[in-house]
Structure 1
Amino acid sequence: MDVVETLVRHGGVAPVALLAARGCSSAQVRGAVRRGQVFHPRRGWIALPEADPMLVSAARSGGRVTCVSALALMMVHTPGSPVTHLRVPTTARRLPSTPATIHRSDVGRPEDPIVDGIDVALSIAVRCLSRDDAVAVLDSVVNLRLLRRSEVVDVLAELPQCYRDYAGLIDGGAQSGIETRFRLGCRALNLPLRSQVPIGGVGRVDFVIGDRLVVEVDGRETHAPATAFAADRRRDLALKERGYLVLRLTYAQVMYEWPRVAALLRSLVARQEHRWAARHRRAGLVEL
C-alpha cells in the first residue's frame, strides 16, 4: 500500500500504527520521509506537508481531534468552538502549544485515526456541552443518519444517568440547532408542540402549537436569498388562507430574546388562539 495514498485517505495525518495496519511497511515510510513526501510531526506519527494544521497540532500533542471539533468535520451541527478539542491520554504531559480544549481519556487504540470516530466524539461532546447544545448535537447526528436513534441511546447508556436522560429529548426531525433550542424551550413551557408537521397545500412546517399556531424558525443567516424570502412569504400566505396563525422567528430572537418569545407564546395559548374556534368552522377553515 502506498504511504501517501493511505495518508490522503485518512485526512493527511495518521499514526504509524495505522499505516502498518493498512499494509505500509517501515521501509516504505522511511522512503517517503527521505523523498520529502511526508514528515514526522512527532515520533510515531506521519503527515503530509499540506495536511490540515489542526490535525498536525493534534498529532504533535499525541492526541486525537474529538468532541465538537471532530463532529464538525462530519458536518454535525455544533455550537462552535474558538479552539480545537483534543483527546489525549490521561498521563499525557506534552500538551499542544496552541490553545486547545483538552479531554483526558484512555479510550481507543494506537492505530486509531487522528480524528475520533463518532461514538467517541459524541460521548465526549455530551459531557462537554450544556444540555441544550448536547441535545442539538444528538438531534443532528440522527437527522444526518450518522447513527440510528437506538445507536445514540447505546452511546448515552455508557454515561452517567444525567446524560442518559437526554435520550428522551432527541428529535431526529430537527433540521438545525435553533429548532432544537425552540423545541426544548416550548417543552419547558409545557406547550402542546408538534415538529415537522405536514400541512396540505403548503408542505412541512417547523412547528405547530395546538391546532393552528404555526411557528417557523429561520436559521442564523441574516440575509436570505431573495428566492428563499419569496418562497417563505408564499408559504405564509397559503397558511393564512387556511386559517393558520403564523409566527416567524429569527435565530437571534430564539437565542437572545427567549423570555420575550416565551411570554408571547404563553399569551397566545392563554387566549386559545392556538385552537380552532367556532368562527373558523363557520368560515369553512376546519374540516368537520
Structure 2
Amino acid sequence: MDELTDAVSQAGGVVRVSALRSRGWSRRAIERRLATHMLTRPRDGWVALPGADPLLVAAARAGVVLSCLTQAERLGLWVQGDGCVHVAAPPKRHIGEVSDGTRVHWARPLVPRHPDVLVDPVENVLAVVARCRPHEQARAVWESALRQGLVVRESLRLLPLAPLARALLEECSLHSDSGLETVIPVRLRFLRLPIRQQVWLAGHAVDFVIGDRLVLQVDGGHHVGAQRRSDIAHDARLKLLGYHVIRIDYVQIMTRWSEVHDVIVRAVAQGLHRAR
C-alpha cells in the first residue's frame, strides 16, 4: 500500500475522486493505481480498494447511502434484521442498479448528506427506521441510539420530525438495557397496568415490575454459571418479600411470545400483580 491507497483506506476504502483531488492527488496518479489494479472504479467519480467493504462499494456504484436497519446495525444499535440491505436516496433521484434484496428508501433527509459520504447520519437513519419498521422494532432502535449516546433527545426534538417519528421519540425510555426490554412494555400496554423498569428490589435491579408485585426478568446470554446462581438466589429473596417472579429469555420474546403472553395474563388474572 502506498500513500494514495493509504489515503483511500483512511477514508473508509471507498472515496470520491474529487475528494482525493482536493487533497492534492493528481488524476494521473489515480489512473495509474487503477491501471495496476491497486484501486477499482465502482462508478465514475469513485474509487475503491480491492478489498473494500462490499456494502460501501455497492452504495457508491448505485449512488445511494446505507441507511435504516443496515446502517443502524453498523452503528452497533439493537436491530431485528429482515435480511435486506437498506439504502436511501432523495426523492426523484436517478440511481444505478441495486442488487436483489436491497430496499431503497426514497426520502428527503433531515440532516443534509455530504456528497462524499456513503452512510446516512444517525438522525436520518432513525427517521427512516420510524417509517420502515413496526412500532416496537423502531422504538428498540431509537432507544438503543439514545442509550448509547449517539443522539440526544433534546437535539432530536429540534429537527423537523414527521409526526410518527416525533411520537416515537416521546415514547422512548432510557431504562431499557436492550432492545428486548424495549419491546415488552409495548406488547403489554393493553393490560393498562403500571409497568416500571429497572426497579431496585432486595439489593438488585429487576427489569420490570408489573403493577405492585409481578416481577418480569429478561435473561440475556450472560445469565449462566455464577450469574445464574445469583439470579436464582435473588428470585428466592423476592418471593420471600411477596413478589411473584417470571423469567424469560431472548428466544421466548422473539419467537414464542404467545407463551409468554399467556403466562403474564394469567398471572394478572390471578391477582399476582397486586400487593396483598
Aligned positions, number: 271
Q: How many Å separate the matches in 1 of 2:268 and 2:132?
A: 35
Give 1:233's aligned amino acid: I
SS state at 2:43 partner: coil
Q: Which residue of 2 aligns with 1:209?
A: 210
Q: Which residue of 1 aligns with 2:38?
A: 37
Q: How many Å separate the matches in 2 of 1:24 and 1:109?
A: 24
SS state at 2:59 partner: helix
Deviation at 1:118, TM superposition (A): 0.6
Give 1:235's aligned amino acid: H
Deviation at 1:188, TM superposition (A): 2.6
Contact 1:61/1:88 (<8 A) preserved: no
Q: 1:158 aligns with which of 145, 158, 161?
A: 161
After superposition, residues 218-229 of structure 1 pair within 5 angstroms as 218-219=219-220, 225-229=224-228
Q: How many Å separate the matches in 2 of 1:235 and 1:241?
A: 10
Q: How many Å separate the matches in 1 of 2:114 and 2:95?
A: 17
Deviation at 1:48, TM superposition (A): 1.2
Q: How many Å separate the matches in 2 of 1:55 and 1:72?
A: 14
Q: How many Å separate the matches in 1 of 2:99 and 2:272?
A: 57
SS state at 1:247 partner: strand
Structure 1 residues 106-148: Cα deviation after superposition (integer angstroms, max 9, x where no partner): 5444534211111111111111111111111111111111111
Q: 2:144 aligns with which of 140, 147, 152?
A: 140
Q: Measured at CA, do residues 185 and 109 of structure 1 come closer, stay the same or move farther in structure 2, by a change above 3 Å?
A: closer
Q: Which residue of 2 aligns with 1:255?
A: 254
Give 2:115's aligned amino acid: E
Q: How many Å separate the matches in 2 of 1:264 and 1:105?
A: 42
Q: Which residue of 2 aligns with 1:243?
A: 242
Contact 2:127/2:165 (<8 A) preserved: no
Calculate the TM-score normalised by the size of structure 2: 0.85
Q: How many Å separate the matches in 2 of 1:170 and 1:122?
A: 12
Q: How many Å separate the matches in 2 of 1:246 and 1:16?
A: 60
Q: Which residue of 2 aligns with 1:92?
A: 94
Structure 1 range deviating more: 109-118 or 250-259: 250-259
Q: Which residue of 2 aligns with 1:196?
A: 198
Structure 1 residues 234-254: Cα deviation after superposition (integer angstroms, max 9, x where no partner): 332333343322110122333
Give ranges in structure 2 of 5+ residues lacking alignment: none
Q: Which residue of 2 aligns with 1:129?
A: 133
Give ranges in structure 1 of 5+ residues lacking alignment: 278-288
- The percentage of counterpart residues that share the same residue type is 31
Q: How many Å separate the matches in 2 of 1:172 and 1:26?
A: 50
Q: Which residue of 2 aligns with 1:173?
A: 175
Q: Which residue of 1 aligns with 2:71?
A: 70
Contact 1:138/1:152 (<8 A) preserved: no
Q: Measured at CA, do residues 189 and 20 of structure 1 come closer, stay the same or move farther in structure 2, by a change above 3 Å?
A: farther
Q: Measured at CA, do residues 16 and 239 of structure 1 come closer, stay the same or move farther in structure 2, by a change above 3 Å?
A: farther
Q: Which residue of 2 aligns with 1:49?
A: 50
